[in-house]
Structure 1
């Protein structure tokens, strides 16, 4: 498997370099567009979250705030209060805030390694702003569809969290561990939080640009066209296949491809849910970079995303049938 992966990376690198010589304008335009998206959409929405979360963790304030989740974390999911707070933030913010928060908490020894691994199965989710606003309202022209997509996405995550809790020991700490006195240097906390937040947001921007370019390069060399033509023989819709291929690499591109083409509504909803829950290789490489820095393996995270993709797609199909949309 590793040899296949390495070979694929080499091929993509060769295509990347060839495109720079054959069509440099494509790379320039693609990079410019990706940087604009990062500047206008990603930086304003994610940087404040990263900054606040880093301040909470570095100052240990998060341990005091998370105490309100003491009973729910123990009864429902067998998570520590910090773990449950991470889960909630991961559901309400967006990629890759959940996984980044897990890495920060684990690095600060505020959650155990077992809990960090379990959180990786379900904590990294797409946020309501993207699903309801971008996909639902802007692309599908329906707030209702946006809420349905978000409901299926989060329900799948909750099901995984509940199922994994059946095989886990409770992560509740003792009362003395929960109420540690606060003692921190606000200057150092703010300085480190700003530095870490800027570093994280720059890493995300780099991966967005990389995979944005890769999608355009694969399209330029007609690789997507070739795959679509091959799958036509088994009755697959070329537009749907191309949208899923885009979404496999980068979530926004995939959702745009699916929802701006003439496809039946049920196909748009199911394909959008699959792309949203998968998250795209762009998000996964962002997450893996954070996991590597924290000393955590990516295996559990990838398995979790595969399970969530299958589960949320099944849920959206069931909802579509029940509501007869």
Structure 2
């Protein structure tokens, strides 16, 4: 009872401080809000929408169940999750965060995975997509395209290690374990595809409409979190709370011989990975290796902004958030370790020297990833606007019929 009252007081005071800060720093709040909005409608919305819609249709048509039966012999022994986890893993890696949580929750709602399996699966299927790592971080912030391979390798190897580690989490029902020992047959996969399609039994038009509605509703929620945490991150800096938190991080960094100047960018990265990565790239007192290690950690940790998005998605099911949060810390440590281990074989071996630590982070030319990133930014707003118009028309049509 006392803890419940204390929680109420803390939440109330925090929201009051946030409201007062918005009034005290209107200009800074507006700029941060616009930054979050631009990020959402230029990059996040157009990049995630196709994956969300296609995944919903694949689940409805039974293709995901078909893939699940095929991948069962791989995913079950390695990660102790059903074969459909392979679909979530691939789609989450291609589309970026928080797609893994969205797909995992959808499979849980369909009853294709258990609660424990869903908590294992969501822990290692949320990752930054390769385009963000190669173009935005490596090229955009560090002005060094060759860093992309190192950052991506550390990030995805950390994901795999988390997946293997989380296989020991929780216990499965004995009857489920016996069921999964059945001999694999391709005919079983085809049968599962057909039975899933018959069970869904929605016309193609309704299935497509439901996919668009569900996807855009999720993306609107994601956009709200991006804007909110962009503002919170800026207000924490204005209130000097970031500097206060950085004092604790300075002690930890000094214990591993890292410069204190990395503390504030690190705190910013804990809240929002894009801002954190950019600030880390601009620290001149740190070596490139030190900046890569810290960046690898915050990319894997995902930031409280993305974690809040995941928590909101998981709240629609019985999937608990705590295992996911612990997995983010583990992946951060794994990714930082892999960045250190792979520094020589993946970076110095092919470059022969370290880029100066005071290099000015600007967008470089001649990178395919950078070109693709800029094209997405140019076309992103149009895709977002037309998608929202389509969403409104679908809603209006359904409301008119009802």
* Same topology, TM > 0.5: yes
Q: Which residue of 2 aligns with 1:104?
A: 106
- 1:302–1:228 CA distance, 2 compared to 1 (3 A): closer
Paired residue for 1:215, among 227, 233, 245? Answer: 233
- Alignment of 1:269 onto 2:283: no
- 1:274–1:3 CA distance, 2 compared to 1 (3 A): farther
Question: In 1, distance between residues paired with 2:5 and 2:123?
Answer: 26
Mapping 1:36-75, distance limit 5 Å: 36-75=38-77
Paired residue for 1:242, among 257, 264, 285? Answer: 264
Indicate the SS of the match to 2:319: coil
- Indicate if the aligned counterparts of 1:59 and 1:189 stay in contact, CA closer than 8 A: no
Indicate the SS of the match to 1:121: helix
Question: In 2, distance between residues paired with 1:5 and 1:242?
Answer: 27
Mapping 1:67-86, distance limit 5 Å: 67-86=69-88
Question: In 1, distance between residues paired with 2:290 and 2:13?
Answer: 32
| Structure showing greater Rg | 2
Write the deviation string for residues 124-166 of structure 1: whole angstroms up to 9, x where unpaired: 1111111122111211122221111111111111122234446
Mapping 1:1-325, distance limit 5 Å: 9-165=11-167, 172=180, 175=188, 178-181=192-195, 182-183=197-198, 184=201, 185-228=203-246, 235=254, 237-262=259-284, 263-320=286-343
Shift of 1:116: 0.8
**C-alpha RMSD over aligned residues:** 2.6
Indicate the SS of the match to 2:64: helix
TM-score of the two chains, using structure 1 as the length reference: 0.90
Indicate the SS of the match to 1:294: coil
Indicate the SS of the match to 2:126: coil
The answer to which structure, 1 or 2, has the higher relative contact order (CA under 8 A, 6+ apart) is 2
Question: In 1, distance between residues paired with 2:5 and 2:298?
Answer: 26
Unaligned runs of 5+ in 2: 183-187, 349-353, 355-402
Shift of 1:251: 1.1
